[in-house]
Amino acid sequence: EAGVAQSPRYKIIEKRQSVAFWCNPISGHATLYWYQQILGQGPKLLIQFQNNGVVDDSQLPKDRFSAERLKGVDSTLKIQPAKLEDSAVYLCASSFFGRTGNTGELFFGEGSRLTVL
Amino acid sequence: AQTVTQSQPEMSVQEAETVTLSCTYDTSESDYYLFWYKQPPSRQMILVIRQEAYKQQNATENRFSVNFQKAAKSFSLKISDSQLGDAAMYFCAYRSDWGYQKVTFGTGTKLQVIP
């Protein structure tokens, strides 16, 4: 079974530039998460999708971050314009939704490391 | 809103010894999941162990076991016979079993294994 795919693995940009990250979840997983992980800290949820609808984006800085999940499969997270404090690893995760046969586990991709200069 | 607290930013253990990582959480829900995830340096986050709140029996996975105290809202991870490969960040996580099943992570504990 293929895992969660993310790209690019690494990205270096200047502040005020834009960047986009892509995530393809495990097939059949209805729930997709984007987390921001600053060095030495725990993952912070940016946005959670249920199929192609947003169920939680309360911590997404909407003036500069946007995300979409067209057709309920893969997803793109965009930052425009980037700030120095956006330097972090952006983790994508997916999981089943519902209670029947659901172990509750999140499956993570390898992450996309962003450096803003 | 649920919160997860890991009060030990760093821990160290001698190889082959046992170490316990602490986690407490706050919730008003009765059904939920608790997890411990491991994140080696620059590597992927992977699941170590899982506990369903409705189960009284503590989960065990080989050298990893948990002490789940539902009333105290405590969920500690015990690693027995520690190995060099256990060195990593360990995150405690809470997943609601209701609504859209939000997942909240703690701040992590960095575990060092001393040869």
Residue A73 phi, psi (nearest 5): -120, -100
Whether B47 sits inside 8 A of A105 (CB atoms) is: yes
Give the pLDDT confidence of A49-80 residue by residue, as tens digits: 998 899 999 999 999 999 999 888 999 999 99
What does the pLDDT read at residue A51? Answer: 87
Q: Is B95 on the interface with A (CB under 8 A)?
A: yes
What are the residue ranges in chain B where pLDDT is below 70? Answer: none
What is the pLDDT, as a whole number, of residue B4?
95
- Most A-contacting residue of B37, B44, B47 (CB-CB within 10 A), to test interface: B44
Residue A104 and residue B106: Cβ atoms within 8 Å?
Answer: no
